[in-house]
């Protein structure tokens, strides 16, 4: 496979993947706003109750993250993604159905969040492992940047759409938009013509051994180890923020669901800026610096969110969220492309699942921590602690070989200790 003239816009199968994922991401951003508002506005949940909801959405990454990677490496990825999309659509559709009959409870909301998160785990591990088989490795940064750009546009448009849908039809019915988006995503995946290569069948396969291979690959590599530490810390505090932010805006700042959606959308414009500049950042700064510089320079801007007050003070929330969104996207595009290019194809599922386990396994713990901090310190006090902790996550990268390098080494041995029977790893 060679890099095509005109880029991935001329790649038919990538266009189907891109369009389906774009629609799905828009629906997902509606749910990001709608689910906590179901808990707060419809079911009168406490800050800690919202923290539990956030934790359950990502509990599967902690409980099943490692074995799912081994399972996905035994299967073709596209059928896994289609099944996950259909299952998520059905799960979300049960919420407006229960609300229509007046039987919706916080326990059903928790169950849907837990199962929906499990389906998302399968989809995400298969999805990140599928892209390298669909496009050439030289196109991975472009592919990830385009997919991230769609996610960034969804982060701008989705929360505002979600907030106004909640005001128009109430939160339980707003999630129907996400259910429909998953159905459309599944249809787009079915339209892809490329046939995945058959998965080699081994006579005796040990799940424990396969999981260990993924762990050994990630933890034995100094750059992957630093990325896992940084992203895991970042996600821990990020989900603590999600547990507190909506409650803070509703109860301390006193804004409506529509305004909450607009604030998140305005700040998420930083994600679009990040997606549009991620590839250029790698060329201008160097591929190593493009991973840590954005987090160190613009990430700390998010701390001003804790200063938000009614009226003109709402600009502080949007500005802080803009800086956070920008730095996160530039970081993600460059580090994900590096991981995909570095890893052997037969290990991609386990590598991605190991990374998901390490970096998303902290998310449910962050949700619980956010709920507990909001209860103990008040929502504003909790935000100071959470956002300061998130800004310090970059220290993992600054303590790694990335700090003194301009560019990342290429090839599967990059920055790995050399054995006696092989030449030293490429260094910068």
| pLDDT over threshold 50, residue 416 | no
Does a structural domain hold residue 6? no
Distance CA 37, CA 40 (A): 5
Does a structural domain hold residue 25? yes
The whole-number pLDDT of residue 422 equals 33
The whole-number pLDDT of residue 2 equals 46
Helices (H) and strands (E) in the chain, counts: 19, 0
Q: How confident is the model at residue 285 (pLDDT cuts 50, 70, 90)?
A: confident
Does a structural domain hold residue 135? yes
Q: Is 2 exposed, middle or buried (0-12, 13-18, 19+ CB in 10 A)?
A: exposed
Q: How many CB atoms lie within 10 A of CB 19?
A: 16
The whole-number pLDDT of residue 427 equals 28
Does a structural domain hold residue 422? no
The whole-number pLDDT of residue 204 equals 53
Q: Which residues of 269-284 are buried (b: 16+ CB within 10 A; e: fewer)?
A: bbbbbbbebbbebbee
Q: How many CB atoms lie within 10 A of CB 90?
A: 14
Does a structural domain hold residue 168? yes
Q: Is 378 exposed, middle or buried (0-12, 13-18, 19+ CB in 10 A)?
A: middle
The whole-number pLDDT of residue 237 equals 95
Least confident of 48-52, 58-62, 76-80, 362-366: 58-62
CA distances from 377 to 222, 239, 325, 370, 384 (A): 37, 17, 26, 10, 10
* Mean pLDDT to the nearest integer, 30-57: 89
| pLDDT digits 0-9 by tens, 265-284 | 888 888 888 888 888 887 88
Distance CA 393, CA 238 (A): 11
Q: How many CB atoms lie within 10 A of CB 266?
A: 19
Does a structural domain hold residue 419? no
- Cα 374 to chain centroid distance, Å, stands at 23
Range of the domain at 173: 12-193+209-404
∠ Cα 262 94 240 (to 5°)? 45
Cβ atoms of 169 and 35 within 8 Å: the answer is no
Scanning the structure block, which residue is given the tokens 């424990």?
208
Least confident of 90-94, 363-367, 380-384, 392-396: 363-367
Q: What are phi and psi of 266, to 5 degrees?
A: -60, -45
Cβ atoms of 268 and 321 within 8 Å: the answer is yes
Nearest Cα to Cα of residue 348 among 232, 222, 197, 234 = 197
Largest CA distance in the chain: 69
∠ Cα 118 122 127 (to 5°)? 140
Distance CA 209, CA 312 (A): 57
The whole-number pLDDT of residue 212 equals 82
| pLDDT digits 0-9 by tens, 12-22 | 898 999 999 99
Does a structural domain hold residue 186? yes
Least confident of 79-93, 147-161, 220-234: 147-161
| pLDDT digits 0-9 by tens, 310-342 | 999 999 999 999 999 899 888 888 887 777 777
As a 3-state breakdown, the chain gives helix, strand, coil percent values, each rounded to 5, of 80, 0, 20
| pLDDT digits 0-9 by tens, 189-229 | 999 988 777 766 655 567 777 778 788 888 888 888 999 99
Mean pLDDT for the chain overall: 84
The answer for residues whose C-beta is within 8 angstroms of residue 36's C-beta and 6 or more apart is 50, 53, 54, 242, 246, 247
* Mean pLDDT to the nearest integer, 88-106: 95
How many domains does one find in the chain? 1
| pLDDT digits 0-9 by tens, 118-128 | 999 899 888 87
CA distances from 125 to 146, 189, 206, 360 (A): 18, 15, 19, 12
Cα four-point dihedral sign 210, 212, 213, 214: positive
| pLDDT digits 0-9 by tens, 150-183 | 877 887 788 888 888 988 888 899 999 999 999 9
The whole-number pLDDT of residue 385 equals 96
- Check: pTM over 0.85? Answer yes or no: no
Least confident of 28-32, 108-112, 132-136, 163-167: 132-136
Does a structural domain hold residue 202? no
Helices marked H in 135-221: 140-169, 171-174, 176-190, 207-219
**What percentage of the chain exceeds 90 in pLDDT?**
37
**What percentage of the chain exceeds 70 in pLDDT?**
91
The tokens describing 369, both together, are 């921590």
Scanning the structure block, which residue is given the tokens 């840590």?
292
The whole-number pLDDT of residue 199 equals 67
Distance CA 96, CA 169 (A): 10
The tokens describing 287, both together, are 């591929």
| pLDDT over threshold 70, residue 50 | yes
Cβ atoms of 6 and 69 within 8 Å: the answer is no
| pLDDT over threshold 80, residue 347 | no
Q: Is 203 exposed, middle or buried (0-12, 13-18, 19+ CB in 10 A)?
A: exposed
CATH number at 267 reads 1.20.1250.20
Cβ atoms of 124 and 69 within 8 Å: the answer is no
């Amino acid at each position: 496979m060679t890099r095509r003239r005109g880029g991935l816009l001329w790649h038919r199968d990538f266009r189907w993947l891109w369009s389906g994922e774009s629609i799905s991401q828009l629906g997902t951003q509606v749910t990001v706003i709608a689910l906590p508002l179901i808990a707060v506005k419809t079911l009168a949940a406490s800050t800690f109750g919202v923290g539990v909801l956030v934790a359950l959405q990502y509990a599967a990454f902690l409980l099943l993250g490692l074995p799912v990677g081994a399972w996905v490496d035994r299967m073709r990825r596209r059928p896994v993604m289609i099944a996950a999309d259909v299952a998520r659509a059905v799960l979300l559709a049960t919420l407006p159905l229960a609300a229509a009959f007046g039987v919706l409870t916080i326990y059903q909301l928790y169950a849907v969040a837990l199962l929906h998160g499990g389906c998302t785990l399968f989809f995400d591990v298969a999805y990140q492992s599928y892209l390298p088989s669909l496009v050439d490795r030289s196109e991975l940064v472009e592919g990830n940047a385009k997919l991230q750009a769609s996610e960034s546009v969804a982060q701008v448009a989705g929360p505002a759409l979600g907030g106004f849908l909640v005001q128009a039809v109430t939160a339980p019915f707003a999630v129907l938009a996400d259910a429909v988006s998953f159905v459309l995503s599944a249809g787009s995946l079915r339209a892809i013509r490329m046939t995945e290569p058959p998965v080699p069948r081994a006579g005796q396969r040990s799940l424990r051994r396969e999981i260990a291979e993924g762990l050994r690959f990630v933890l034995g590599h100094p750059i992957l180890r630093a990325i896992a530490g940084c992203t895991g810390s970042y996600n821990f505090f990020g989900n603590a923020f999600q547990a507190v932010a909506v409650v803070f805006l509703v109860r301390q700042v006193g804004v409506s669901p529509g305004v909450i959606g607009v604030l998140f959308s305005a700040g998420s414009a930083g994600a679009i800026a990040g997606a549009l500049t991620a590839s250029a950042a790698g060329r201008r700064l160097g591929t190593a610096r493009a991973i840590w510089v954005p987090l160190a320079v613009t990430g700390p801007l998010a701390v001003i969110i804790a200063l938000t007050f009614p009226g003109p003070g709402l600009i502080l929330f949007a500005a802080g969220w803009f800086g956070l969104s920008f730095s996160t996207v530039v970081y993600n595009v460059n580090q994900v492309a590096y991981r995909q290019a570095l890893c052997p194809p037969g290990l991609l599922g386990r590598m991605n699942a190991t990374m998901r386990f390490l970096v998303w396994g902290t998310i449910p713990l962050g949700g619980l921590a956010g709920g507990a901090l909001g209860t103990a310190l008040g929502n504003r006090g909790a935000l100071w602690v959470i956002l300061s902790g998130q800004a310090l996550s970059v220290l993992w990268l600054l303590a790694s070989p990335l700090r003194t390098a301009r560019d990342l080494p290429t090839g599967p041995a990059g920055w790995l200790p050399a054995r006696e029977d092989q030449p030293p790893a490429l260094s910068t």
